Amino acid sequence: MKSPHLIIIGGGFAGIEMLKQLNGLPIKVTLLDKNNYHTFQPLLYQIASGGLGPDAIAYPLRKIVGRIPNIAFRMAEVKSIDTNQNIVTTDIGDFTYDYLCIATGSVTNFFGNKNLQEFAMELKSIPQALDLRSKILQEFEKAVSQTESGQIEQTLNFVVVGGGPTGVETAGAIAEIKNNVLPSDYSEINKNFMKIHLIEASDRILAAMSEISSEKATEFLKNLGVEVHLKTQVKDFTGTELLLGDGSIIKTETVIWAAGVKGEFPQGIESNSIGRGNRILVDEISKIKGLNNVFALGDVAMMTHEEKYPNGHPMVAPVAVQQANLLVKNLQAIINGKETKAFSYFDKGSMATVGRHRAVFESFGIKMQGIIAWLGWMFLHLMLLVGFRNRLVVFVNWLWNYVSYQRAIRIITRPYKGKN
Amino acid sequence: MKSPHLIIIGGGFAGIEMLKQLNGLPIKVTLLDKNNYHTFQPLLYQIASGGLGPDAIAYPLRKIVGRIPNIAFRMAEVKSIDTNQNIVTTDIGDFTYDYLCIATGSVTNFFGNKNLQEFAMELKSIPQALDLRSKILQEFEKAVSQTESGQIEQTLNFVVVGGGPTGVETAGAIAEIKNNVLPSDYSEINKNFMKIHLIEASDRILAAMSEISSEKATEFLKNLGVEVHLKTQVKDFTGTELLLGDGSIIKTETVIWAAGVKGEFPQGIESNSIGRGNRILVDEISKIKGLNNVFALGDVAMMTHEEKYPNGHPMVAPVAVQQANLLVKNLQAIINGKETKAFSYFDKGSMATVGRHRAVFESFGIKMQGIIAWLGWMFLHLMLLVGFRNRLVVFVNWLWNYVSYQRAIRIITRPYKGKN
């Protein structure tokens, strides 16, 4: 019997977990991704803040695929999917499949605001993180030559929108730049001109965690000098002025939008299979409703059979990894005519770091804050990184940053000149 | 007495050596550079070949300047110099000086060939090195999907033009990618389709070194599979075909031009002060002929008073560093009305590495080849890097590359889509 051909679109957490589980199985696999590397997204903000280089958190996909005989990789941008003819169309040609897994993840959600889309910075990919690093440093360089205090304040106001883990970690990292890098590198700048704002629409940050974690994280941010604005909506952004819901304005040139993500996938999925947040509706084994051989998993998928998650699972790496793991087992069951097993999310907890010695951590009812949570956060992120080499490089950089209080990689590799 | 104001244009080897010597002197200094970092150019080829990340060899200029009270830094692109009015015009405004040092280095010299300028890759800056890394990896990805052998050969022909240290080191590094990365990452590609050519116009590579070094380096390159073409001129390049002096053609999409550099400096220097290779003619204390308070040093300067160097000194880092060191002493002498001292180049030798265990090394009559030369090369480059953190990161990466035989950073951070 000829091995069936499985195409996986996307080398994120779901994609690479599938590869690991598919190693050696009688299934021919092709992984498609527009990049030739896997991105460890949880640490993108550390690239933006100069603590890590891209090579520390990017992992070449061919390093995973290369030695597995039943798996091939093609760097390709998928244009569309034809689920009737089982064809994936890409910029390097067409591919036919027996089974298809869509693991294309998510992109920033600006909720239709064109100005924010044009002017706000994003933090979902390595080029975006490098752009943000350049932008922050360029603002500092600009401020050095400015003489009017109003101008300097506009240049040195940094606004992070969204109080989830990404927003909290980014705001904390920028505050540490203010406290540790600005005084030594930019002695000509009055440090007090620099302000970091964190804006959150709901009544607390880290809303997915407990109230004690929210409170503690808010306290940590305030200790670092971040101004936390709760119950605050963002209406618009002109590139120099951020308009808030109450009509007030923050003059700023740097807005980092961490207030939402949405599913991202190629054309060819019927609109009645698409749910809230542009996520593809799937059943309890990740199969897209109405299709027999096409699956979706991770951020891009919305699976609603679990009572606890009526609007789909949280868009985080552990969901993607667990769904990928089960999907490979279920695919084997389907191929062999055996029974499949419904997905059930095993939530191991969550955490966020604000800065040096400052983190919040929740797992199985245990709640920790401060230095122990911070050490736990670092240990777990080191373990979750793909490959020993990246762990080593991140560890060496963290050690250096810890000892020196610096963000060593404060280099503008390519100046940021706006999106496109 | 008011401290005189010295402007230094360029934070290369000459510029940062001057800063170190100027620390604490009664001279007000402004360093101008279009980048906010110093580039350790000798290791750019290792970024291109995926062995190091940019942060390993780039050093933030503010980390040097930040803590020195008499030195300021401005990230600025210098547009022109007015030597009559003592004004430097930049993209962020004008600066007036009492003394000016031009240490702007060199750029690739295509000797007027527009096609080469448009299509050939360069290796003089970090963005160029990243572009070359992307280009090499993109060619591999392209080859995987190609079916006609003629096409594959064109995609997998890599040509390095210029048999100086940069050319030799780059050709060797690409050969190691062929030997160590291609078989594991691209098992679908027949490794024999990949060819590396090194083209040199004269009758030996590393012409600045002894004949035994040239011979040994040629042998090393051949061992690694590089085809060395001596006495071969490059006439033109269409982007897919490289035309050689004898009329023959190499089909290739990747030509790395390491065949020459020329001085690069802002407008405002009189044409009769400009010599061969677009270098500024200076006297024995680096002063530009015909000017009283403007100096040029390093690659951009041509100093001809030493009998051994009638066409100027070699365009290498040690010359720049020694000239910078002496110039600070001479500036103090000029300011204090004392006698200046003529420059005399102290040549400590030269070296080039071809690959693992393969290098050539010459110093004070001692000539070494092979593993000892290779260890010496590594040790000296580690010592020459600026800052302990960069030494540590390079060391960790080299250790990893040595043990794993891999080039870990084989990621296409930003795809190369042609120049501009």
pLDDT tens for residues B29-67? 999 999 999 999 999 999 999 999 999 999 999 999 988
Is A271 near chain B, with CB under 8 Å?
no
Can you name the residues that pair with A212 across neighbouring β-strands?
Answer: none
In this complex, is the C-beta atom of B96 within 8 Å of any C-beta atom belonging to chain A?
no
- Answer yes or no: is pLDDT of A345 > 90: yes
Which residues from chain B sit within 8 angstroms of residue A28, using beta carbons? none
Separation in Å, CA of A81 to nearest CA in chain B: 20
Q: Of B196, B217, B211, whose CA–CA distance to B358 is shortest? A: B217
Euclidean distance between CA atoms B171 and B256, whole angstroms: 9
Confidence band (pLDDT; 50, 70, 90) for B193? very high
Whether A346 is in a domain gets the answer: no
Residues B290, B230 share a domain: no
> In this complex, do A54 and B58 lie within 8 Å of one another by their Cβ atoms?
no
Strands B294-296, B301-303: parallel, antiparallel or unpaired by DSSP? unpaired
User: Do residues A198 and A171 lie in contact, with contact meaning Cβ atoms separated by under 8 Å?
Assistant: yes
Q: Do B75 and A141 touch (CB under 8 A)?
A: yes
pLDDT-derived band at B103, boundaries 50, 70, 90: very high
- Is residue A282 one of the residues assigned to a domain? yes
What does the alpha-carbon distance between residue B213 and residue B128 come to, in Å, rounded to a whole number?
29
Contact between A358 and A223 under an 8 Å Cβ cutoff? The reply is: yes
* pLDDT tens profile A280-305: 999 999 999 999 999 999 999 999 99
Which residue has 């089909």 as its token pair?
A: B251
Mutation for B interface: A38, A62, A386, most B CBs within 10 A: A62
Average pLDDT, rounded, for chain B = 96
Q: Give a yes or no: residue A90 inside a domain.
A: yes
Cα gap A359→B190, rounded to integer Å: 50
Instruction: Provide φ and ψ at A243, rounded to 5°.
Output: -95, 125
> How many Cβ pairs within 8 Å bridge chains A and B?
110
Q: A307, A335, A363 — which closes off a domain?
A: A335
State the pLDDT confidence band at A1, using cuts at 50, 70 and 90. Answer: low
Mark yes or no for CB contact A55/B411 under 8 Å. Answer: yes
Q: How far is A134 from chain B, CA to nearest CA, in Å?
A: 10
Print the domain residue range for A247. Answer: 114-259
Encode pLDDT of A156-181 as tens digits. Answer: 999 999 999 999 999 999 999 999 99
Tell me which chain B residues have a C-beta less than 8 angstroms from the C-beta of A392: 396, 400
Nearest CB partner across the interface for A411, out of B60, B145, B184:
B60
Residue of B nearest to A406 (CA): B63
Contact at CB, A389 and B400, closer than 8 angstroms = yes
Q: Are residues B250 and B157 in the same domain?
A: yes
Looking at A287, A302, A335, which one is the last position of a domain?
Answer: A335
Q: Mean pLDDT, chain A, as a whole number?
A: 96
Closest partner CB to B92 (pick from A37, A145, A409): A145
CA distance B61 to B11: 7
Average pLDDT over residues B257-281: 97
Same-domain pairing of B266 and B294 = yes
A95 — contact with chain B (CB < 8 Å)? Answer: no
Do A28 and A131 lie in one domain? The reply is no
Question: Do A236 and A128 sit in the same domain of this protein?
Answer: yes
> Which H/E stretch holds residue A44?
helix A44-48
Residues B273 and B218 grouped into a single domain: no
Interface test with chain B among A403, A410, A419, A420, by most B beta carbons within 10 Å: A410
At residue B1, the pLDDT reads 66
Q: Are residues B119 and B239 in the same domain?
A: yes
Are A20 and A124 in the same domain?
no
To the question of pTM greater than 0.90 for the whole model, the response is yes
Same domain, B273 and B327: yes
Calculate mean pLDDT across residues A58-67.
94
Which residue, A259, A287, A311, sits at the end of a domain?
Answer: A259
* Distance, CA of B206 to CA of B183 (rounded, Å): 30
Exactly one of B139, B153, B169, B253 is catalytic; name it: B169
Question: What pLDDT shows up at residue B378?
Answer: 96
HEC string of B342-394 equals: CCCCCCCCEEEEEECCEEEEEECCEEEECHHHHHHHHHHHHHHCCCHHHHHHH
| Residue among A62, A184, A396 minimizing CB distance to B66 | A184
Interface list for A 363-402 with B (CB within 8 A) = 389, 392-393, 396-397, 400
Q: Which residues of B touch A386 (CB under 8 A)?
A: none
* pLDDT tens per residue, range B217-265: 999 999 999 999 999 999 999 999 999 999 999 999 999 999 999 999 9
Model confidence over B6-29: pLDDT tens digits? 999 999 999 999 999 999 999 999
A46 within some domain: no
Q: Which residues of A touch B130 (CB under 8 A)?
A: 413
- Centre a 10 Å sphere on the Cβ of residue A107 and count the other Cβ atoms it contains: 17
Instruction: Report the pLDDT averaged over residues A238-252.
Output: 97
Check whether A250 has a pLDDT greater than 70. Answer: yes
In a domain, A364, yes or no: no
Please say if the pLDDT value at position B149 is more than 90.
no
In the set A169, A176, A253, A264, the catalytic residue is A169
**A145 and A230: one domain?**
yes
- Residues of chain A with pLDDT > 70, as a percent, come to 100
DSSP symbols for B306-345: STT-TT---SSHHHHHHHHHHHHHHHHHHHTT--------
In the predicted model, is pLDDT for residue B184 greater than 90?
A: yes
Instruction: Give the span between the Cα atoms of A79 and A72, in whole angstroms.
Output: 19
Do A81 and A169 sit in the same domain of this protein?
no
Q: Residue B147's pLDDT is what? A: 87
For chain A, percent of residues with pLDDT exceeding 90? 96
CATH number, domain containing residue A152:
3.50.50.100
Query: Is B60 close to A185, i.e. CB distance below 8 A?
Result: yes
Chain A environment of B137 (Cβ under 8 Å): 36
pLDDT category at B420 given cuts 50, 70, 90 is low
Q: Is residue A51, in this structure, part of any structural domain at all? A: no
* Gap between the Cα atoms of B52 and B39, Å rounded: 13
Q: Does A54 touch chain B (CB under 8 A)?
A: yes
Please state the rounded mean pLDDT for residues A210-214.
96
Q: Do B54 and A413 touch (CB under 8 A)?
A: yes
* Chain B residue closest in CA terms to A51: B55
pLDDT at A10: 98
Cα-to-chain-centroid distance, residue B8: 20
Q: Measured in whole angstroms, how far is the alpha carbon of residue A384 from the centre of its chain? A: 14
**Given an 8 Å threshold on Cβ–Cβ distance, is A185 in contact with B63?**
yes
- Burial (0-12, 13-18, 19+ Cβ within 10 Å), A399: exposed
B413/A126 CB distance under 8 A: yes
pLDDT at site B84: 97
Taking the mean position of all CA atoms in its chain, how far away is CA B405? 25
CATH of the domain at A273: 3.50.50.60
Residue contact A130–B410, C-beta within 8 A: no
CB A242 within 8 A of CB A250: yes
* Amino acid B2: pLDDT: 84
Residue B22 pLDDT: 97
User: Any catalytic annotation for residue A270?
Assistant: no
User: Is residue B64 situated within a structural domain?
Assistant: no
pLDDT value of residue A419: 86
CA distance linking residue B174 with residue B405, whole number of Å: 13
CA dihedral B184, B187, B190, B196 (to 10 degrees): -30
**CB of A62 within 8 Å of any CB in chain B?**
yes
Query: Looking at the domain assignment, is residue B363 inside a domain?
Result: no
Angle A306-A309-A312 from CA coordinates, rounded to 5°: 100
Same domain, A281 and A302: yes
Q: What are phi and psi of A112, to 5 degrees?
A: 85, -5
CB-CB contact of A72 with A30 (8 Å)? yes
Q: Across residues B285-313, what is the average pLDDT?
A: 97
Identify the pLDDT of residue A420.
Answer: 67
Q: Total domain count for chain A?
A: 2
Which residue's entry shows tokens 């990049």? A35
